[in-house]
Amino acid sequence: MRRHSVFAIAREAMRDHTGWPRAWARVEPRDRYDVVIVGAGGHGLATAYYLGKNHGITDVAVVEKGWLGGGNTGRNTTIIRSNYLQDPSAAIYEKARSLYETLSQDLNYNVMFSPRGVLMLAQTHHEVRGYQRTAHANGLQGVRTEWIGPGRVKELCPIMNIEGPRYPVLGGLWQSRGGTARHDAVAWGYARACSDMGMHILQSTEVTGIETGPGGVQAVNTTRGRIACGKLGLVAAGHSSVLADMAGFRLPLESVPLQALVSEPIKPCMDIVVMANTVHGYLSQSDKGEMVIGGGTDGYAGYTQRGSFHHVEETVRALVETFPILSRLKMLRQWGGIVDVTGDRSPILSKTPVDGVFINCGWGTGGFKAIPGSGFGFAELMATGASPLCAAFGLDRFREGRFIDESVAAGVAH
Amino acid sequence: MLSLHCPHCDLTVEETELSPGGEAHLTRHGPGSDDDSFEEYLFLRPNLKGPTLERWRHAYGCGKWFIAARDTATMQVFGTYPAQRGDCPPEIRDRMEGAT
Amino acid sequence: MTTRRLERGGRLLNRARPLGMRFDAYYVRAFEGDTLASAILANGHRLLGRSFKYHRPRSVVASGPEEPNALLGVGEGGRFTPNVRATTEPARDRLVCRSQNAWPSLDTDVGIVNDWMAKGLPAGFYYKTFLSPRPFWKHVFEPFIRRAAGLGEAPSEPDADTYETTYAFCDTLVVGGGIAGLAAAKDAADRGDRVILVEQNAHWGGRAPVDGDVVEGQAAEDWVRDALRTLDASENVTCIPSCQAAGVYDHGYVLLNERLDGDGPRERLWRVRAGRVVVATGALERPLSFAGNDVPGVMLASAVRDYVVNWGVSPGERTVIVTNNDDAYRTALTLLNAGLEVRAILDARPKADGALSRRVAERGVDIQMGRGVAKVLGGKTVTGVATCAQSGEGEVLQTIECDAVAMSGGWSPVVHLWSHCGGKLQWDAGRAMFVPDADRPPLGADGTGFVTTTGAASGDLTLAGLAVDVAQHATAPILPVWQMPEGAPHALRAKSFLDFQNDVKVSDVRLAAQEGFESVEHAKRYTTLGMATDQGKLSNINGLAILSDALGQPIPQTGTTTFRPPWTPVTLGALAGEAAGELFQPLRRTPMHERHEQAGAFWEPVGRWRRPYCFPQGKESHADAVAREIAATRNGVGMLDASTLGKLRVSGPDAGRFVDMLYTNMMSNLGVGRCRYGLMCDENGFLIDDGVVARLSDDVWLCHTTTGGAERIHGWMEDWLQTEWFDWQVHVVDLTEQFAQIAVVGPKARTVLERLGGMDVSRDTLPFMRWSAGTLAGIPVRVFRISFSGELSYEIAVPANHGLELWDAIAAAGADLGITPYGTEALHVMRAEKGFVMIGDETDGTIIPQDLGLDWAISKKKDDFLGKRGQQRTHMTDPDRWKLVGLRTLDGSVLPDGAYALDEGRNENGQRKVQGRVTSTYRSPTLGHGIAMGLVRRGPDRMGQVLFFTGSRGKTIDAEIVSPVFYDPDGEKQDA
């Protein structure tokens, strides 16, 4: 792997950039790997990466039916925060956030992590209490957040309308070290590092069946042949139920559309990320200048990767109300993805009823911010059989009634 | 943006009048049931990529529940029927099977 | 002067109506019918902007919304709009517009430094650098990048315009008012369909009038006029100009965005449900990729003739045309007919002898076959071209002096609306275009196609397939030319632009392929090709063809990126519509709302309702108001508007059985005339609501819910009744808005009611937890002896239209007793003093009744109720669960909201362990110190223990575990 740096660019500029190698190798599938991971999104690639980096396991294939990073990793609104209420959530999201802080250097790939701060607005007394509770919890969890009043909110975000008239801003939960990153770069950075470790990323390779036997998982059948594996990690977000079905178990999951949109780019007008749960919308400005807008899911199952337009209208309405200068900007593009939502809206990182098969899913609308933490923990779970980061997120929590419910503190999009 | 035929009103109505209710025809398991059955009832779902049966309420209309047979991958709707029955009418079932 | 107004011509102009505008420092003379682009060009200004990355000078390239370069900031103050396409914005008298993304001026932009460094700034360079030192990304690199990025300025004032939304239904929606669209609309109208026809321009006809086509024997212009007349005369047809179809959505839903003139709303959003959609959106011309194809003065060949014919503007005195197809020859004829010079035609094809090229040859124009442009000469404006052999490597054969270049690389059908809901494309190699695959249309609810295409949008550029007769010219085939010249070396490829706004060159796409970004989506995202405000309308096909070539694979294998709405950008204010400010959401008020407003209420949003939080008198703080309201109530009498609480009437032969399933308590044995506090859980066992249930008669129960819970719990009830127990005979009615409800509370409450007269409210007749119907002050009422405050309390339900009347009567009757209206905060404090839980405070979606010491409300006699099984799960019966207690700080202070009680040590993830938390906390004016309720591990077994709670700034606060009932523990007062 050629090391990235400004010197490398200068050198390559001299020879018309002909020396840049492939970011990830083009490979033919072998007939067996120690570990096969299904899904080359951020979570799947990060899992592979940490299997190699932390556990020395590099005989790994990541199998992807489309193009790597093409699912939710390539469609999200790039928000990174860890201001969650429940201990297990805070732990894994904070692990992710702290890994994001040095990810560009770790991967030698600029993922453009921008710690510009995330603000959760409180517009009802119930929200005020909820976020104040979260602030207390975060302090004990090692997550740096603080409760701030409306004056400070306005300072951080001058374009916000804090007066209402409908829902005046009562304050907010501020995480100054949350922020954003460039979503594609996260996938590409991990993919390049995995490839560099000799792992195989098999794009355009769809899993069509999972073979199990008395000892557990044997192999996956794919459109490029049968691949035997010692362990299998299913990390396919919206398609998790489809894969689980192949392996012979079911999940507490519903796959629903999630939409987002961007405006045309304008000069910088907003430095922070704002999430406004009462009115259901969140907003930030990308490095390119586009206003990035998201809201809640379409509430019913769908695998089309597109949604109903009235949800977009509701989100835009809420944000134009909260940020009046948005009104004359124009929606440039809208899109959708498929998010998998669990019974308690928290993820599943777990062994499964099939030996050797592990599942990482259910991130709902909160997947992007978790990528490094999820990969770190899931790799540990697959490699050693246990992981403190994953312990609370087992599949068995539902039958036990041990919900991890973030709805008090959840962002509009978890 | 969906439009579904409310079998109670006999009208095709916009998604904005409707409120979704998840998977249809779940079997309720109450006190006395084993853990597996209870978990199945509350949580485990086929979550199919393809024809499924799902519940809808005509919330901003007659307020009644009905069930739609819809393909979650193509948005094709095979039919709707009142929720006050325990199973899918055979003609709708046939149309769903024809699609797979 | 390179560009200027022609003395004659301009079919869209009204030369009798001159206008004046300002563009940057220039005064611009225009006519009604001009666009900003045509007017600015007519005044001799070619430079309209700077590209995004390299800040290269940019001019107009196209004539419609596909324009990538000429983006201006238009208007001022509350009517300032950034990123306006000069090619589609109508000229208006006194309009002010300015260029974007250049400093200090458009002409001399320091950003050009990026262009000088272009070799070091290829696609994706930023992924490979800015890595160290690490803090520099946040503090140095990123702020710089952000400031350099963006195009237009953000508006600084609220929008002074309004927007409107409307709905429409039709059988056939036709998108596009060119020949094909008009013909399709006429057909549909003849069939009797309800038809809506939309056209994004203010003028109809599409390309045909500009290109001088003959339709059904008539000049296109005349045919169009007649067609419109016919359509306008039909009752079942609605024609909407200046209206784009922004997106096609599932089940035939189409979003239209109409631009309005005049003083009313600025734009109108149409939400249309169409039986079928006919897409007649035409095709867009493609640029050719040669070095310097972005220099101001290089324009699409069809745009050149649009400016000449539509707006009487000369894009150049001496134009060189470069093409790979016959269509560009029309431009030669148009220029010649306008008296402008065509210096040469460089035709990349080895030979071509269509009718058009013969006509041009007859006019003496120098036509060179097998030739292309090696390089455009000139920086800020075209000064000439260096020609070469198309099949070579760019060796210059000739230099031709010129001031404009018209390029045509072929045409791409506009397939966006076809694609939005999954319509597929196929590659037509003969015509070098992606066309809709009619066998794989987007499918509607019935599983059949609901969109068709017609005309150029189908790839039928000559409209040969239409039912109307359009005169045909014999044409020679196109030669696909994706790189000019074919063997261009890197130096030329690095100046051959694909995406003019984002500065993506042929060399960038090849670099993406080299680095393994082989999927068309990867290549797009890596290079940012097609991600600018034009969303790749002029660049996508060229880009994917280059990618295919670099990968050595055929174009269909590469495919296209996903087409997403909107077709062209839609104003966010138009999407928000009229729902802004006071109209942002519906507001629910009680019948006494005005009276509270007059009393100086400070309002709190509770769901969609407004409830008074407190009633500050004079300069009182909220805390003082709350204290006063509590004192008045506990010592005398207070009154509360409780109308917002839900009221659900459950009746029928199976109503008792039903309420027994809904509540944890036994409700079927509640006697008529009695009330019982009940809990509702979901099937997980978690508390979802609480409220008092009253037995109205043998088969009628009245269930109260929390404010904002009425619809949710009603829905919950209907869900069970309709989908599970649908053979039970139960009827539920939501009466929340039918009745106002007023609580009269305090030691003197009975006195007030007795003064009103009409019914017996004595202790014997109406004891605690009973209800009674009668009249008060002549108004029919139902009175409940229930108490949330712990005082003697009557909740009076009255028909809503009498609510205000009764409120006033009560206020009058209690005036000399100092009756005091109190708000939600006083309500909350008083209930906390009594240890009464509140849904949403003590519960958070994971709390079961057993956690709150409400085991007594869970019937042991019932075999089943909703939530019973859920509560039997292991985690729910764990003795270590946190349970409800009262908390009292040792120093009398108020515990902070949400504070946690610390425990020893840390967990596996390094987090501090905790053993409890505060759920409600207030200063109690009644008791004179802070009180709180909380959940603590094994709390009720640990009375008297002191816990350390998190305070602010790392401090801890000591609090003792006590009973949650701080006031009147024996309940004597509420029983009075």
- Write out pLDDT tens, residues C741-778: 999 999 999 999 999 999 999 999 999 999 999 999 99
Taking the CB of residue C232, how many other CB atoms lie within 10 A of it?
10
Torsion angle of the four alpha carbons C906, C911, C917, C923, in this order, in degrees rounded to the nearest 10: 110
- Nearest CB among C52, C841, C846 relative to A403 is that of C846
- Write the class of the CATH domain C163-280+413-458: alpha beta
- Nearest CB among B1, B36, B46 relative to A241 is that of B46
pLDDT above 50 (res B83): yes
Q: Do B75 and C715 touch (CB under 8 A)?
A: no
CA–CA dist A206, C864 (Å, integer)? 47
Burial label for C573, CB within 10 Å (0-12, 13-18, 19+), is buried
| pLDDT < 70 stretches in chain A | 1, 408-414
Asked if residues C294 and C500 have their Cβ atoms less than 8 Å apart, the reply is: yes
Question: Contacts of residue B36 in chain C, CB cutoff 8 Å?
Answer: none
- Contacting subunits of C (3+ beta carbon pairs below 8 A): A, B
- What is the total count of domains within chain B? 1
Q: Do A399 and B15 touch (CB under 8 A)?
A: no
B20 reaches C (C-beta below 8 A): no
- Contacting subunits of B (3+ beta carbon pairs below 8 A): A, C
Question: HEC string of C751-764?
Answer: HHHHHHCCCCCCCC
Predicted confidence (pLDDT) per residue in C351-373, tens digit: 988 899 999 999 999 999 999 99
Strand-pair partners of A276: A121, A281
Cβ contacts of B10 within 8 Å, gap of 6 or more: none
pLDDT value of residue C760: 95
Range of the domain at B68: 3-99
Q: Tell which CATH classification among 3.40.30.10, 2.40.30.110, 2.60.40.10, 3.40.250.10 matches the domain C879-976.
A: 2.40.30.110
Q: Do A141 and C157 touch (CB under 8 A)?
A: no
Residue A308, SS3 per DSSP: coil
B28 reaches C (C-beta below 8 A): yes
Q: Do C723 and B83 touch (CB under 8 A)?
A: yes
CA C457 to chain centre: 28
Q: Do C684 and A87 touch (CB under 8 A)?
A: no
pLDDT value of residue C709: 87
Average pLDDT over residues C623-646: 97
CA–CA dist A315, A160 (Å, integer)? 16
Q: Do B77 and C446 touch (CB under 8 A)?
A: yes
pLDDT above 90 (res C149): no
Question: Contacts of residue B74 in chain C, CB cutoff 8 Å?
Answer: 422, 443, 447
Cβ contacts of C845 within 8 Å, gap of 6 or more: A403, A405, A407, A408, C686
Distances (CA, A) of B95 to A303, A381, B91, C426, C446: 20, 44, 6, 29, 10
Quick one: which of C62, C285, C89, C306 has its CA closest to C205?
Answer: C306
Reported as a pLDDT band with limits 50, 70 and 90, residue B100 is low
Quick one: which of C469, C737, C465, C689 has its CA closest to C591?
Answer: C737
- Nearest CB among B3, B32, B65 relative to C445 is that of B3
Domain locations in chain A as residue ranges? 23-90+183-252+344-400, 118-180+255-342
Predicted confidence (pLDDT) per residue in C80-134, tens digit: 999 999 999 999 999 999 999 888 889 888 888 888 888 888 889 889 988 888 8
* Residue of chain C whose Cα is closest to the Cα of B37: C869
CA angle (C319, C323, C329) in 5-degree steps: 65
Q: Which amino acid is at C821?
A: P
Strand-pair partners of C773: C782
CA C421 to chain centre: 18
Question: Contacts of residue A130 in chain C, CB cutoff 8 Å?
Answer: 898
CA–CA dist C253, B34 (Å, integer)? 46
Domain locations in chain C as residue ranges? 4-115, 163-280+413-458, 286-410+478-484, 496-558, 588-638+819-833, 879-976
Structure tokens at C527: 């290079």
Containing H/E element for C507? helix C506-514
Q: Do A129 and C897 touch (CB under 8 A)?
A: yes
* Sign of CA pseudo-dihedral C316, C318, C321, C322: negative
CA–CA dist C717, C709 (Å, integer)? 12
Average pLDDT over residues C890-914: 96
Peptide bond between residue A324 and the one before it cis (omega within 30 degrees of 0): no
Residue C632, SS3 per DSSP: helix
Q: Do B83 and C726 touch (CB under 8 A)?
A: yes
pLDDT above 90 (res C581): no
Distance from CA of A294 to the nearest CA of B (A): 18
Containing H/E element for A37? strand A32-38
* Residue of chain B whose Cα is closest to the Cα of A306: B1
* Sign of CA pseudo-dihedral C865, C870, C872, C876: negative
- Nearest CB among A128, A264, A321 relative to C151 is that of A264
A251 reaches B (C-beta below 8 A): yes
Asked if residues A117 and A83 have their Cβ atoms less than 8 Å apart, the reply is: no
Q: How many CA atoms lie within 13 A of A17 on its CB side?
A: 26
Taking the CB of residue C469, how many other CB atoms lie within 10 A of it?
12
Distance from CA of A221 to the nearest CA of C (A): 23
pLDDT value of residue A1: 60
Reported as a pLDDT band with limits 50, 70 and 90, residue C1 is low
What CATH number is associated with residue B84? 3.30.2270.10
Quick one: which of C788, C768, C766 has its CA closest to C967?
Answer: C788
Torsion angle of the four alpha carbons A50, A52, A57, A59, in this order, in degrees rounded to the nearest 10: 120
Domain C286-410+478-484 in the same topology as domain C163-280+413-458: yes
Cβ contacts of C816 within 8 Å, gap of 6 or more: none
pLDDT value of residue A413: 32
A104 reaches B (C-beta below 8 A): no
Q: CATH fold of C4-115, please?
A: Ubiquitin-like (UB roll) (3.10.20)
Its CATH architecture, for the domain A23-90+183-252+344-400, is 3-Layer(bba) Sandwich (3.50)
Distance from CA of B90 to the nearest CA of C (A): 17
* Sign of CA pseudo-dihedral C295, C301, C306, C308: positive
Q: Do C564 and A335 touch (CB under 8 A)?
A: yes
- Nearest CB among A250, A299, A304 relative to B45 is that of A250
Task: Please give the interface size between A and B, counted as residue pairs whose CB atoms are below 8 Å apart.
Answer: 65
Predicted confidence (pLDDT) per residue in C233-283, tens digit: 999 999 999 999 999 999 999 999 999 998 899 999 999 999 999 999 999
Average pLDDT over residues C202-222: 95
Distance from CA of A253 to the nearest CA of B (A): 6
Phi, psi (rounded to 5 degrees) for C194: -75, 125
Superfamily of domain C496-558: BFD-like [2Fe-2S]-binding domain (1.10.10.1100)
| ipTM value | 0.97
Q: Tell which CATH classification among 3.40.47.10, 3.30.9.10, 3.30.590.20, 3.40.50.1820 matches the domain A118-180+255-342.
A: 3.30.9.10
Question: Contacts of residue A288 in chain C, CB cutoff 8 Å?
Answer: 149-150
Q: Do B39 and A309 touch (CB under 8 A)?
A: no
Asked if residues A183 and A100 have their Cβ atoms less than 8 Å apart, the reply is: no
> In chain B, positions 51-70, which contact chain A (CB-CB < 8 Å)?
52, 54
Question: Contacts of residue A135 in chain C, CB cutoff 8 Å?
Answer: 898
Question: Contacts of residue B76 in chain C, CB cutoff 8 Å?
Answer: 443-447
CA–CA dist C87, C521 (Å, integer)? 29
Q: Do A304 and B46 touch (CB under 8 A)?
A: no
Question: Contacts of residue A303 in chain B, CB cutoff 8 Å?
Answer: 49, 72-73
Asked if residues C948 and C892 have their Cβ atoms less than 8 Å apart, the reply is: no
pLDDT value of residue C973: 86
* Residue of chain C whose Cα is closest to the Cα of B19: C715
Structure tokens at C580: 């802004």
Superfamily of domain C286-410+478-484: FAD/NAD(P)-binding domain (3.50.50.60)
Q: Residue ranges of the alpha helices (H) in C257-404?
A: 301-311, 328-337, 355-362
Cβ contacts of C923 within 8 Å, gap of 6 or more: C623, C627, C829, C894, C929, C930, C931
Structure tokens at A18: 């002909």
